[in-house]
Amino acid sequence: RPRRPPPRHHPSPSFTNNASLADSSASNSSIQRHEGGSGHTGLGNSGNTCYLNCILQCLSNTTPLVEYFITGSYVDDLIRGKGELPNAFAALVMDMWLGDCLYIYPDEVKRVLGKMHAAFSDGTQQDAHELLLFFLNILHNDLKKVSTGLDQYSSTLRNAETSVIAKLFQGQLSNVKVCLSCFHKSSQTETFLSLSLPMPPDSRCSIQDCLRLFFKEEILSSSDQPYCSFCGRKRDQSESIQMLKAPDIIIIHLKRFESDDHGNRKLTSTVSFPLEDLDLSQYTTTPSAQHLKYHLYAVVNHTGSLDSGHYTAYCKNPVTQRWHEFNDMKVTDICEQKIQSPATINSFPYSCLQSILALRQLIHV
């Protein structure tokens, strides 16, 4: 349990201006002006909850999201009759940033999640990526509202729902098929909160290798032939994925677990990746995204086997710009070389440096 009892009440945050936490390089960062918090608070493990703790630490270092909850802005967006998870998460990040504890237990967040899904209440290890998507979707559903100003990517949708989650994490992909007989082109658009990337069979690869594999054009033939409405029959077709809209913060998930004729196994390939300037411009169709680059700010690690193991997180503090390892209640400083070295990296959220939002606010989260 916490070595010091967590604070039960926090003074309402007061700000000298409306500067966004997204501009965490500025000296007047909202978090930085709160004298009590440092963002170095560990999270106690109440029994196989490391998968939850690592995700909470990554979200706690996502500065636009933290500012939204710490300032109480989320209250105005709550859907009537909902809000258990947003309220629990807001109380948690307040304790993590404004409290004076070395570590705390996220019991209320865990209780609410267990109430919403039995898998998160039975004390067994769960998949961190699945939890992250579940967590973000619940926040979105509790905070969503009808958008009045639709951009070019949602202009065909009516009553488009938006939320702080959609604004920060949601992107759009287009699945394009071209008939190789009549060259009719069809496309299907879908939104995403994370990209789950396949891994090449090599023992060593780069994140760009994984991205190229994900966006690679494929030929659908033989038993995989799709139906062509113009030809009136099944035809060989090319299929490719394009990014229509890149999110401000992109979550990349590595598919380290695969199934084959011999059963399930974990891929332990070493994946290299840059800490800064991950360029995704070649995968997007947006003209304004010619120099779409991202900076890394959080990493989820998994050590162990397919059936058991342990999750930890590496996060870059938005105030000090220093990296820390979060291993449940233990928080330690780490060097950048360690972040890039392990073969255990499971997913990493990047913050967009040169999107429209970043060009205005210069995000460094």
Q: How far is Cα 268 from Cα 296, in angstroms, rounded to an integer?
A: 21
The pLDDT tens digits for 106-128 are 999 999 999 999 888 888 889 89
Q: Which two tokens stand for residue 27?
A: 């000296």
The pLDDT tens digits for 237-274 are 999 999 999 899 999 998 877 766 676 777 777 888 88
Q: How confident is the model at residue 308 (pLDDT cuts 50, 70, 90)?
A: confident
| Sequence spans of domains, the chain | 42-144+162-361
Q: How far is Cα 49 from Cα 197, in angstroms, rounded to an integer?
A: 25
Q: Give me the catalytic one of 40, 50, 210, 253.
A: 50
Q: Which two tokens stand for residue 283?
A: 């995968």
Other Cβ atoms within 10 Å of 176 Cβ, number: 18
The answer to whether residue 310 is catalytic is yes
Tell me if 86 sits within 8 A of 69, measured CB to CB: yes
Say yes or no to pLDDT of 218 above 80. Answer: yes
Question: Could you write out the DSSP letters of every residue in 232-246?
Answer: TEE--EEEEEEEEE-
Tell me if 156 sits within 8 A of 172, measured CB to CB: no
Q: Which two tokens stand for residue 13?
A: 């945050």
The pLDDT tens digits for 133-183 are 999 999 999 998 755 444 444 433 334 568 999 999 999 999 999 999 999
Q: Give me the catalytic one of 58, 184, 231, 310.
A: 310
Tell me if 88 sits within 8 A of 114, measured CB to CB: no
The pLDDT of residue 287: 65
Instruction: Report the CATH number of the 42-144+162-361 domain.
Output: 3.90.70.10
- What's the rounded mean pLDDT across residues 338-351? 70
Instruction: Return the SS3 of 185.
Output: strand
Question: Could you write out the DSSP letters of every residue in 28-66?
Answer: T-TTTT-TT--S--EE--SSS-HHHHHHHHHHHT-HHHH
